Structure 1
Amino acid sequence: MAKTIFITGASRGFGKLWAAAFLEKGHKVVATARDLRSLDDLVNKYGTNILPLQLDVNDRAADFAAIAQAKQHFGSIDVLINNAGYGLFGSIEETTEQQAREQMETNFFGLLWLTQAVLPVMRAQGHGHIIQLSSVLGLVTVPILGLYNASKFAVEGLSESLAQEVKAFGINVTLVEPNQFATDWGSASAAVTTPMPEYDGARAWLQAAASEDKIGIPEATVPAILQLIDSENPPLRLLLGKQGHPWTRQVYEGRFAEWDAWQEIAAAAHGK
């Protein structure tokens, strides 16, 4: 059955790729981008099935207006995909206040505003699916991406609570958690701090860890995303790629080992 899908950050990367896949399957798509020219090819090919909207997700009023326009234009919003975001590369010490705030504004607050805006629409419909683009780095961490980690950890906590709040309204929530893929997330779309030589070792470690044999092919994600939006019982979390699952399992096993080692002391701190 054809659905109306609202997707942010559709100018490139996963957003552009998935928007095209949805349209090819006959869905109606509201695609947002800061530069509408980036959507001209989709408009020319799919005509009235796509509604391109210029949007800076950091603008809360504009987010609410975009959702209202989408609802008025297509009559419903079945799926919201909060895809807009970017990575800030730099150590914690190097990060300026402006860089930190901008990372959280886009990756967390923009997602929050659009989520708030679409909830009344989905509640009135009695159904909906909110898909939040998180990351495996919302579950585990690496050096030099601390602010990005923080933004995605925030998305994880927000969305897990949201899922519990809205289930009774027929609204599902899914956190999509990709490992690294060959998009421009780590290049053209990224922001970078002014490097301090003290952190050159951590930067070298991250670069070595991101070897090409571990990087996924973006086009290979399309079947999974199409299956996700068609699912009647979608998961709360979906790890995309083959690196995230074993890595997350390894990290969590280490966490439990540490918690277990300190459990006696922790339990005594309860006081009764």
Structure 2
Amino acid sequence: MWFITGASRGLGRAFAEAALAAGDQVVAAARNVQPLEDLVQRYPDDLVRLPLDVSDRTAVFEGVDRAVAAFGRLDVVVNNAGAMLLGMVEEATEEQLRAHFDVNFFGAVWVTQAVVPHLRAQGSGHLLQVTSMGAGGGFASTGMYAAGKSALDSISQALAMEVEPFGVKVTILGMGGYDTGLFTAGTTMTEPNPAYAELRARLAEMWGDDAGPDPSTAAPVVMEVAGMPEPPTRLVVGSASYDIVLQLEQGRAEQYRAWERLSRMAPG
């Protein structure tokens, strides 16, 4: 049985559709589950819609208990719910930052805390933590998004070590850019500071209008990972994104080596 957050659109919906098509049962959680009505019609016995705001810790624990009660167990948990806070670091308000991390980081942690006791008791299960190819570092105007995903990435690495003795697997999915609606329906904008107008123009030219491939193209990868007895702890999802991440990692290693003399001046 799959438990998927952020399942009403984008990657979450694509994963839910793939799991249902494979004959699996799915609890699809989202703030607004109305867009899943067509899937309910197609899979009335295998799909349960769960209205859920992952930033509400109490609601998350209650929702996970309902999910387990619906189908009797948890096999694959996909922490996918997320949003975008787009703007420069200087521009973000305290309210925007806290709301952003409440969903992208704390929401995923609440789901993790709620499902781990069930998975540990079963002695099995697989958590798929949806982060980003950009989780390893920040980029102008998307730094808050990268920060939330980086925090989830780090805590998921620790989690993998903690739950491994109980037969529970964790995979960090560094997703590339897909046409999920993240930059439209899922985006909160900061109030633009004119000081960054030139940088914004350069970024807009760099990114262009390409929204990326359809989320369904990532689903086969996730389905294969979910079925592995020994899955990877970390995986970049996307061919172009893999190349970019590899270049970034190589560039970081080169920078470390370039300043090795200074690093080795300190004994720690």
Q: Normalization by structure 1: what TM-score?
A: 0.94
Q: CA deviation at 1:45?
A: 1.1
Distance 1:256 1:201 in 2: 30
Cα distance, 1:137 vs. partner? 1.4
Is residue 75 from structure 1 mapped to residue 72 from structure 2 by the alignment? yes
Please state whether the residue corresponding to 2:170 is helix, strand or coil: strand
Q: Which residue is 1:190 aligned to?
A: 187
Identity %: 39
Q: Contact (CA 8 Å) 1:142, 1:206: kept in 2 or not?
A: no
Shift of the alpha carbon at 1:77? 0.3
1:158 equivalent in structure 2:
155
Per-residue deviation, 1:138:
0.5
Q: State whether residues 6 and 79 of structure 1, in contact with CA within 8 Å, keep that contact through their aligned partners in structure 2.
A: yes
1:63 alignment partner AA: V
Structure 2 CA distance, aligned partners of 1:206 and 1:186? 14
CA distance in 2, matches of 1:166, 1:114: 15
| Residues 1-272 of structure 1: pairs in structure 2 closer than 5 A | 4-212=1-209, 215-270=212-267
Q: Per-residue deviation at 1:223?
A: 1.2
RMSD: 1.4
Distance of 2:181 and 2:210 partners within structure 1: 17
Dislocated runs of 4+, deviation >3 Å: 211-214
Query: Structure 1 CA distance, aligned partners of 2:258 and 2:52?
Result: 49
Give the TM-score, by structure 2 length: 0.96
Give the Cα separation in 2 of the matches to 1:148 and 1:124: 33
Give the distance between the partners of 1:61 and 1:248, measured in 2 at CA.
Answer: 36
| CA-CA distance at 1:214 after TM superposition | 8.1
Q: What is the aligned length?
A: 268
Alpha-carbon distance in 1 for matches of 2:46, 2:177: 31
**Unaligned residue ranges in structure 2 (runs of 5+):** none
Distance across 2 between alignment mates of 1:139 and 1:217: 24
